[in-house]
A and B are shown apart, each in its own frame.
Chain A
Amino acid sequence: MSDTSQIAIDVRDAVKRYGDFTALKRISLSIMDNEFFTLLGPSGCGKTTLLRMIAGFEDVTEGAIFLYGDEIENLPPNKRPVNTVFQNYALFPHMTILDNVGFGLEMRGASKSEARRKAGEMLELVQLSQFSARKPSQLSGGQQQRVALARALAPKPKVLLLDEPLSALDLKLRKAMQLELKHLQRETGITFIFVTHDQEEALTMSDRIAVMSAGEMQQLGTPNDIYERPHNKFVADFIGETNLLEVSVDAVHEGRATCHLGGGHELTCNAVTGIGVGSKVHMSVRPERLFTSDAPVEAESLKGKVVENVFIGTDISTIVNLDDGPQFTIRTSNSDRGNKRIFDQGAEVFVNMELGAARLLVD
């Protein structure tokens, strides 16, 4: 087994330009051995470009990419020991499932029979052995997806690249595949680099996530980091649901910033270096960190009126307008309804949060 602290993919100052357009603005990141790493961002953020640069389908305009210490950015795709699962699977339509999966093995010098034997084993791993003689068009989307996975894993790549592989599947299947992928990564011990625009998918599966936007990396961290401690406005807004409000900073003291919202409401937020007194910035507080009561409970309590309750299955979402101030969305888990009261529409309430639940954000 290789050392777990070893760096699998090291991207150093990678820049990608198409003519005047810069798709990737100097990205540096290290992806560890045996890691499930996700590149997350909206479409056009450069995540797929970065993945294609690692695979070798796109040239690197500037910078370097290392694979376990070897510089690879000038190698053609067929010389790089990484394999890709494509968004629309890209299975060879004229070959059987077995020959699809065996293709990479054969190209690496295995005999036809050897390739077929190993491909058969891979198909067993993804539970598709009974389909080995079929053509890709005879399989469902989910089955094709698993074939694509088996095909990419069969040559035992050092790193597996996955380009939004689940986006064409329906919700139920996607959820099941998310777990299956995660388990597969654990079993094989291969480093996975996963590209997605679905933040929930990223949070579910990843060891670490790089959030990207407009060709730049916004934040790199564990799912928990990124969700609980978003670094800037983009990350807070993109990951999960949040209350994003404009505030002005009145005082900063020992890591806490006293801010006021509109309507004379005051709130203490977690301060961030670089944001001083007098600045107008955004703050974020997650809806599930808030609760309503008929009298102030926590130190941070804001007075308002319930506008609407929305039932959304597992949760109830309550919208509260602060007196003369901004609007908050509050989420109460259905299982919490015994402890936390749901107030009727029009009721006067206090919106409560723990100290530190609200965070200031860099723009």
Chain B
Amino acid sequence: MAAGAASGGSATTDTYKEARTWLLMPAWVTLSFLILAPVLLMLVYSFLTKEFRGGVVWEFSLSAYDQFFFDRGLFGDEPAKIEWTYITIFWRSIWQAGAATLLSFLIGFPTAYFIATQPERVRPMWVFLITIPYWVNLLIRTVSMKFLLRDQGPLNDFLISTGLIDSPLHIVNTNFAVQLGLFYSYLPFMVLPIYAAVERYNFTLSEAAADLYATKMTILRRVLLPAVKPGVIAGCILVFVPSMGSFLAPDLLGGAKNFMIGSLIEEQFKGNAGNWPFGAAASMILLTMVLIILLIFARQQAKAEKET
């Protein structure tokens, strides 16, 4: 559209230009105040010195980043060693978010496929049903999940009553509980883009593949998945990115041992015990990581789109 307007006659180009400047204003204002400004603020804070009761002292310092990567002992006078605590938390975050994304894909893809293959009239109803639980606040949903999964919760009661297990499964306070929580929090973000892609899929392609002696698994792998790849990639980004920075699910379902980067950052800004520059530095590191991962995905996406 924009290209069409720009390549129009020279007499109208100026009018368009002016109109475009004004029409884009709200978007620019929103972008600069709600995204650019907070990020810049974080960037600045991450290079300041911490105040002991929260807040910052306006004095340049690299200590926040230093603290993230290096251990200099309790009083900061020992030789620097690599600090593994935060790197481990970081690594766990990537891993947990990745596992949650995989889980969402494994459940979300068949769900999306199911909805897309329903008669056209009932598809909106299925989409609506998928989104209903998400009208409830995330905190309440996560707490409910903890209640469902705990040792004396309904899930374990049910499994014990059926005789499948003798003693309750310890699900809460494990990595798996966090993955479940993240999966449940962001599942629709996986289902919806894949649904949109499968809905546009030309099912004759599956017939053509079957006609050419492909099995169902081969059709899925060689024909359907490549065709809906852009939707899958979009779904993965939409689940992975918020999962990375999430703190509700890890806090409530993971317990102290299964700390994720989101919780670490949250801690730094909560109450008096916090360390604002450190929290800001961790945020910047998270942002950088996410951007790198997004860039890789975006490249894949562009490639997938060029191919179709």
> What is the 8 Å Cβ interface bit string for chain B, positions 201-228, against chain A (1 contact, 0 not)?
0101101111111110010001100110
CA distance A55 to B307 in the complex (A): 29
Chain B interface helix/strand/loop/mixed: helix
Interface residues contributed by chain B, number (CB under 8 Å): 20
- A55-99 at interface with B (beta carbon < 8 Å): 55-57, 76-79, 82-84, 86, 88, 90-94
Q: Which residue of A lies closest to B204 (CB)?
A: A90
Known: A78-B215, A107-B212. A93 touches B227 (CB 8 A): yes
CA distance A76 to B202 in the complex (A): 20
Would you call A155 an interface residue if the criterion is a C-beta within 8 Å of the partner chain's C-beta atoms?
Answer: yes
Q: Are B205 and A77 in contact (CB under 8 A)?
A: no
A55 → B minimal CB distance (Å): 6
Would you call B308 an interface residue if the criterion is a C-beta within 8 Å of the partner chain's C-beta atoms?
Answer: yes
Instruction: Find chain B residues with CB under 8 A from A93 CB.
Output: 205, 227, 307-308
Q: Are A76 and B210 in contact (CB under 8 A)?
A: yes
Would you call A151 an interface residue if the criterion is a C-beta within 8 Å of the partner chain's C-beta atoms?
Answer: yes
CA distance A88 to B227 in the complex (A): 17
Instruction: Find chain A residues with CB under 8 A from B229 CB.
Output: 94
Instruction: Find chain A residues with CB under 8 A from B214 CB.
Output: 78, 103, 107
Question: Which of A77, A91, A152 contacts B207 (CB under 8 A)?
Answer: A77
Would you call A172 an interface residue if the criterion is a C-beta within 8 Å of the partner chain's C-beta atoms?
Answer: no
Question: Which of A56, A57, A76, A104 contacts B212 (CB under 8 A)?
Answer: A104
Instruction: Find chain A residues with CB under 8 A from B212 CB.
Output: 78, 83, 103-104, 107, 151-152, 155
CA distance A137 to B306 in the complex (A): 11
CA distance A57 to B203 in the complex (A): 12
A185 → B minimal CB distance (Å): 19
Q: Are A94 and B213 in contact (CB under 8 A)?
A: no
Instruction: Find chain A residues with CB under 8 A from B205 CB.
Output: 90, 92-93
Question: Which of A82, A86, A103, A104 contacts B204 (CB under 8 A)?
Answer: A86
Instruction: Find chain A residues with CB under 8 A from B213 CB.
Output: 78-79, 104, 107-108, 155
CA distance A195 to B204 in the complex (A): 17
Summed over the interface, the residue pairs from A and B with CB atoms below 8 Å come to a total of 68
Question: Which of B218, B227, B307, B308 contacts A107 (CB under 8 A)?
Answer: B218
CA distance A137 to B202 in the complex (A): 14
Q: Are B207 and A103 in contact (CB under 8 A)?
A: no
CA distance A107 to B211 in the complex (A): 10
Most buried by A among B202, B214, B308: B214
Known: A90-B202, A92-B205, A94-B227. A83 touches B211 (CB 8 A): yes
Known: A78-B215, A107-B218, A135-B307. A90 touches B208 (CB 8 A): yes
- A21-76 at interface with B (beta carbon < 8 Å): 55-57, 76
Q: Are A94 and B202 in contact (CB under 8 A)?
A: no
Q: Are A78 and B211 in contact (CB under 8 A)?
A: yes
Most buried by A among B210, B213, B307: B213
CA distance A72 to B129 in the complex (A): 41
B26 → A minimal CB distance (Å): 37
Instruction: Find chain A residues with CB under 8 A from B208 CB.
Output: 84, 86, 90-92
Question: Which of B202, B210, B222 contacts A78 (CB under 8 A)?
Answer: B210
CA distance A137 to B207 in the complex (A): 19
Most buried by B among A77, A82, A86, A88: A77
CA distance A79 to B214 in the complex (A): 9
Instruction: Find chain A residues with CB under 8 A from B204 CB.
Output: 86, 88, 90
Q: Which residue of A lies closest to B215 (CB)?
A: A78
Q: Are A84 and B227 in contact (CB under 8 A)?
A: no
Q: Are B207 and A90 in contact (CB under 8 A)?
A: yes
Instruction: Find chain A residues with CB under 8 A from B210 CB.
Output: 56-57, 76-78
CA distance A137 to B212 in the complex (A): 21
Instruction: Find chain B residues with CB under 8 A from A103 CB.
Output: 209, 212, 214, 222
Instruction: Find chain A residues with CB under 8 A from B227 CB.
Output: 93-94
Q: Which residue of B lies closest to A82 (CB)?
A: B211
CA distance A94 to B208 in the complex (A): 14
Most buried by B among A82, A90, A152: A90
CA distance A28 to B214 in the complex (A): 30
CA distance A103 to B221 in the complex (A): 13
CA distance A86 to B308 in the complex (A): 19
> What is the 8 Å Cβ interface bit string for chain B, positions 182-217, against chain A (1 contact, 0 not)?
000000000000000000001011011111111100
- A163-199 at interface with B (beta carbon < 8 Å): none
CA distance A292 to B163 in the complex (A): 96
Instruction: Find chain B residues with CB under 8 A from A76 CB.
Output: 210
Known: A78-B214, A103-B214, A155-B212. A92 touches B223 (CB 8 A): yes
Additional pairs, 20, CB under 8 Å, beyond known A77-B207, A83-B211, A92-B222? A78-B210, A78-B211, A78-B213, A78-B215, A84-B208, A84-B211, A86-B204, A88-B202, A88-B204, A90-B205, A92-B205, A92-B226, A93-B205, A94-B226, A104-B213, A107-B213, A108-B213, A151-B212, A152-B211, A152-B212
- What are the 8 tightest A-B residue pairs by CB atom distance, in nearest-first order? A104-B212, A107-B213, A90-B208, A77-B210, A90-B204, A94-B226, A94-B307, A78-B213
> Can you name 27 A-B pairs with beta carbons within 8 Å?
A56-B210, A76-B210, A77-B210, A78-B212, A78-B213, A78-B214, A78-B215, A79-B213, A82-B211, A84-B207, A88-B202, A90-B207, A90-B208, A91-B208, A92-B209, A92-B222, A93-B307, A94-B229, A94-B307, A103-B214, A103-B222, A104-B212, A107-B213, A135-B307, A137-B308, A151-B212, A152-B211
